[in-house]
Amino acid sequence: MSDLSTIRSAALGAVEQAADLAALDAARIAALGKKGSVTGLMKTLGAMTPEQRRAFGAEVNQLKGEIETALEARKSALSAAALAAKLSNEKIDVSLPARPEFATWTEGTLHPIGQVMDELAAIFGEMGFSWADGPDIEDDWHNFTALNIPPDHPARQMQDTFYLPKRADGTPMVLRTHTSPVQARTMLDKGVQKMLADSGSLRIIVPGRTFRIDNDATHTPMFHQVEGLVIDRTTHMGHLKGCLVEFCRAFFEVDDLPLRFRPSYFPFTEPSAEVDIGCSWKGGELKIGAGDSWLEILGSGMVHPNVIANCGLDPAVYQGFAFGMGIDRIAMLKYGIPDLRSFFDADLRWLRHYGFQALEWPSLTGGLGR
C-alpha cells in the first residue's frame, strides 16, 4: 500500500507539473506505459492470493482511473492555453485597409441590403427591439389564417403567392409572402407567453426574404421586408407613431423629417395607417425632407384582436402595434438606387459603386460611425 501511495503522488504530481503536451505524454508513459509504475503494480498480482488479488487489483484500477482523469483534465487545460497563445500571436487588425496594390480587386464591400439590415438592427436595437426570424417555406395557417386573412382574400390567389406541394398530412404550403408569420410564431411561443404573463413586453423586428409573383423595375419575385411587433398591456397608437417617427428620422438622417399617417386597411391591424415621408422633386431630383411632396414607405397599425387571439393571447388583456416595410425600397430611397433588379444581378461593378465598408456602423443619432 505504501508503494501505491508513493506511485499515486508521483504520477499525479508529474501530470500537474507538465508544462506542455510533450511533458504530459511523458508523464502518461511513466505511469501507464508498458514499463510504467502502475503497469508494474499490475504485474505483481500473479503472486498474490485470490483475496489479495481482488482487493489490490481494485486499488490499482482506481489509481489508474484517477491518473487517466488527471491526464485528460491537464490535456484540456494545456490545449486551451496553447490555442490562446497561438491566437494571440497570430491576431491581425481586420480594420486595416487593403494594401494599395491589391485594393482594386481584393477589398470587399457590403451589399446595400446587408448594410440596411445592419442599420435596422442598430436603430431598433437602441429602442429595445430584438431580432427574430423564421422559415421561408410556411404553412397556410401561419402565413394567412393566423393573421386574419380570410380564405377569399386576394392575397391568397395564385397571381400573388407561390404555392408549393402540400405536406403528407394535406397542409397547404407556400413561399412566405411577408415576414408577418414570424410574429405569429413568436407570440405562440410558450416562453414568450409566460414572459408577457409576468407583465413583460415583446418587441421584435423580423427582417428577411419574402416571395411574390411579380417582376419589374420596382418589384422582384424575391425581395426583403422587415416587420416590427410590440405586444404588452398598455401600448397604443401614440407609441407606434413615436417609434416610427424616431426610426425614419434616424434612418434617413434628417432630424426634422416630416411624416404623415394616412388611414388605410390591412387584415391584421385595426386601426391601420400608411406612413408617408416628406420629400421634394426640385430639378427632377428626389430629396428626402421638408418639401411639397410625399413618399409612402411603410404600413402600420394596432394588432387586430383576432390575430392576438389566434396566437394564444387574450385580446382583452394584451394589445400591441405592428409595422412593415420593404428593405429594398428604403435602401433605394436612401442611397439613390434606381432599379430594384440591380440588387440581384451580382454585378461587381454595381457593388463596388453602391457597396459599403464593413466597419460603417449606423447609430440612432443618424449617420454612419466608424
CATH number at residue 242: 3.30.930.10
Spell out the alpha helix ranges (H) of 127-236.
Answer: 140-143, 180-188, 190-197
| pLDDT-derived band at 156, boundaries 50, 70, 90 | confident
Residue 98's pLDDT is what? 65
Residue the block writes with cell 432630424: 255
Residues 55 and 182 in one domain: no
What digits encode the pLDDT tens for the residues 322-365?
Answer: 999 999 999 999 988 888 888 888 888 888 888 887 666 555 55
Residues 77 and 176 in one domain: no
Of 33-42, 63-72, 157-166, 269-278, the range with the highest mean pLDDT is 269-278
Residues 133 and 216 in one domain: yes
Residues 164 and 64 in one domain: no
Which percentage of the chain shows pLDDT scores above 90? 46
**Nearest CA among 138, 8, 141 for reference residue 65:** 8
Residues 243 and 335 in one domain: yes
218 pLDDT higher than 80: no
Are 300 and 273 spatial neighbours (Cβ–Cβ below 8 Å)? yes
301: left (phi over 0), alpha (psi -120 to 50) or beta: left
pTM of the model: 0.68
Q: Is 305 within the bounds of a domain?
A: yes
Residues 126 and 26 in one domain: no
Q: How many residues does the chain have?
A: 370
Residues 240 and 204 in one domain: yes
Residues 62 and 152 in one domain: no
| pLDDT-derived band at 105, boundaries 50, 70, 90 | low
DSSP string for 84-121: HHHHHHH---TTSPPPTTTHHHH---B-HHHHHHHHHH
Mean pLDDT of the chain: 86
Residues 52 and 130 in one domain: no
> For the chain, how many structural domains are there in total?
2
Residue 274: strand pairing partners: 262, 299
Q: Is 143 within the bounds of a domain?
A: yes
Amino acid in the structure at residue 213? I
Average pLDDT over residues 37-47: 80
Average pLDDT over residues 69-89: 89
Q: Which residues constitute the domain of residue 195?
A: 112-369
213 pLDDT higher than 70: yes
**Nearest CA among 365, 337, 349, 288 for reference residue 112:** 337
Residues 126 and 197 in one domain: yes
> Does 271 sit behind a cis peptide bond, omega within 30 degrees of 0 on the bond before it?
yes
Residues 145 and 60 in one domain: no
Residue 370's pLDDT is what? 32
Residues 216 and 335 in one domain: yes
What digits encode the pLDDT tens for the residues 140-151?
Answer: 999 999 999 888
